[in-house]
A and B are shown apart, each in its own frame.
Chain A
Amino acid sequence: MSGAVQTALASPAGPARRAVRDPLVAGLVGLCLAAAAVLLVASPAPYLVNALGQLAAFAILAVSLDLVWGYLGILSLGHGLFFAIGGYVCAMHLLAHGVATTGVLPDFVQFMGWKSLPAYWVGLDHAAYALVLALALAGLVAFVFGLASFRSRVNGVYFSIISQALVYVAMLLMYRNDTGLGGNNGMTGFPLLFGWPMGSPGVVTGLTVAALLTLAAVLAGTRLLIGSAAGRRMLACRDDETRLRTLGYSTTRLKLGIWCLSAMIAALAGILYVPQVGIINPRVLAPDLSIEIAVWVAIGGLGRLGGAVIGAILVNGLKFWLSAAMPEAWPFILSGLVLFVVLVLPNGLLDLVALRPRSTWLRGAR
């Protein structure tokens, strides 16, 4: 790998500045709130509203990865796992809620020849319990995996590869039909959300508003975290973990805490995403999708929360448009975009805004 590729993809190179004021993040938070307010009074075409809500969910996911990758130097190539945990638990809630209201069992339960939902679905028709379960489950999985890795000082590409393997194992597990989670077809056909028919304009708008408000809250919260003493320790740990440890800090605890927080934010994104698309299946656990999250962050600007949001929205916006207009070209366009950013704008598209391409490649110096 060339130095530029390594810099952009394997290590956090962004000069994550933590000025007290961060106009980009403040602007994005304002934009989310404004868009949410507009949606509450005006009613654009539902498909546009829905697309906006999905983009917001992806942006939350990108922020969750940037938090650990850009600010703590931990590149996860398995964040789809936590997104999927949120999504699956949300889907279970929607189906259990449907069964409790209509009495009709979901298709996959009928295909399996079962007479009722599996026993461990009990209570999932309560939204609050489902929310707590999703976050707790994501946090717990992250805790166990993080504890095992960080305690044994598994770092860098080794951690990335193991995280990728983890999401792959989870995908194989979810493809099994006897897990009671929909198997290879996944779960779909959600009838209701909080008693309202799924797909009605009010529900579509409500979900998008919820996603936008969550994005605003996640951005503001992570920004505060990064500006705090803990945020300074994160940057210190990212740049020289041994130095931080020999100053008396438990880096394992620091990394574990932020890692679990990141996983729960990713789960939140999954919770918001699944009702908007109306389906979840094991494909969401495919390793390439987890890598794509890192691509969004790298393209937008690693180590800058605003960059993660811009990258997620730009790449997925392009994807929505192009995968309909010319689906066969999309993989080439995405790869081209990655190469362009890695070679010309190693700190992501935010370099473009600052008009300061840093690449030695562009300046012709080796």
Chain B
Amino acid sequence: MVDALTVAFGRFKALDSVSLAVDSGEVRAVIGPNGAGKTTLLDVISGITKPVSGRVMLGDRIDLTQRSEAEIARAGVRRKFQKPSVFPALTVRENLEIGCGPALPARARPARIASVLGEIGLGPRTEVLAGSLAHGEKQWLEIGMVLAAEPALLLLDEPVAGLSDSETAHTAALIRALRRPDRAILVIEHDMGFVEAIADRVTVLHEGRTLYEGSMAGARGDARVIEVFLGR
């Protein structure tokens, strides 16, 4: 999917020929120390940053690097941002309604919203302004918003940052429940326990390059990964 991607800010290469293939039905975690290029990778996939070279193919035909953010979203890619990005002046229901995307007909929305509310467990908070939700609830609401469009590729940027242990466990269960044969999920995370709980495979990035790709258990045993994470 991601093919020889290079992103530069001035002379600094945030991503240096990174390649990565995520399959439908898979939960893939991208891990790596600060500055490894994880968020930049998501920025390129969601169209916020344009790469110097390389391609991001969705399926066989659509090169996402040539599309605007809105077009990428309409192609079935949704991203949950690192900082919970919900619309504070709208209620939980209204946030989810916007999350359904412009393509879904209005009459199909109530059912979709109801099903998402069930999945994220915010049913009792439907008419609350998103701005007054707790941090964890905002994270779940944003996951709900990106879920409401039934994305083919779901990008989650640190979905458990700042959450308590029980909230993290809840989120892990939620993400496991989101796996579907026709959906790929790409998660960026620092929390290794969380990654172990959700990911089918992990990709380790370091200084803009791919260091390791495979199972989490394999990553824990890989000498280079240990060196990068633990220092010499």
Contact = CB atoms under 8 A, between A and B. Distances in A.
Contact of B101 (A232, A238, A248): A248
B69 A242 contact: yes
B90 A235 contact: yes
Contacts of A15: 89, 131
A239 B46 contact: no
Interface in B63-89: 68-70, 72-74, 78-79, 81, 85-89
Contacts of B134: none
B139 to A, nearest CB: 14
Given A242-B48, A242-B69, A247 B89 contact: no
B108 interface: no
Contact of A247 (B48, B73, B131): B73
A232 B90 CA distance: 7
B73 A246 contact: yes
Contacts of A242: 48, 69, 85
A97 interface: no
A249 B149 CA distance: 12
A249 B87 contact: no
B70 A240 contact: no
A236 B87 CA distance: 5
Chain A at the B interface: SS class: helix
A16 interface: yes
B89 A16 contact: yes
A245 interface: yes
Contact of A239 (B47, B89, B103): B89
Interface in B104-159: 106, 131, 145-146, 149
A248 B87 contact: no
A232 B97 contact: yes
Contact of B102 (A232, A235, A246, A249): A249
A232 to B, nearest CB: 5
Interface size class of B (residues with CB under 8 A): 20 to 34
Contact of A246 (B78, B89, B103): B78
B222 to A, nearest CB: 33
A249 B70 contact: yes
B22 interface: no
Contacts of A17: 89
Contacts of B78: 246-247
B196 interface: no
Contact of B99 (A16, A238, A247): A247
Nearest to A250: B70
Contact of A248 (B81, B85, B102, B106): B102
A248 B73 contact: yes
A245 B70 contact: yes
B178 to A, nearest CB: 17
Q: Which 8 A-B pairs have the closest CB atoms?
A: A248-B73, A243-B85, A236-B87, A245-B69, A248-B101, A235-B89, A248-B74, A250-B70
Interface of A: 15-17, 229, 232-233, 235-236, 238-240, 242-251
29 contacts: A15-B131, A17-B89, A229-B97, A229-B106, A232-B94, A235-B87, A235-B89, A236-B87, A236-B90, A239-B89, A240-B87, A242-B85, A245-B68, A246-B48, A246-B69, A246-B70, A246-B78, A247-B99, A247-B101, A248-B70, A248-B73, A248-B74, A248-B101, A248-B102, A248-B103, A248-B149, A249-B70, A249-B73, A249-B101
Given A17-B89, A236-B98, 17 more contacts: A15-B131, A229-B106, A232-B94, A233-B98, A236-B87, A236-B89, A236-B90, A239-B88, A243-B87, A245-B68, A245-B70, A245-B73, A246-B78, A246-B79, A247-B101, A248-B103, A249-B102
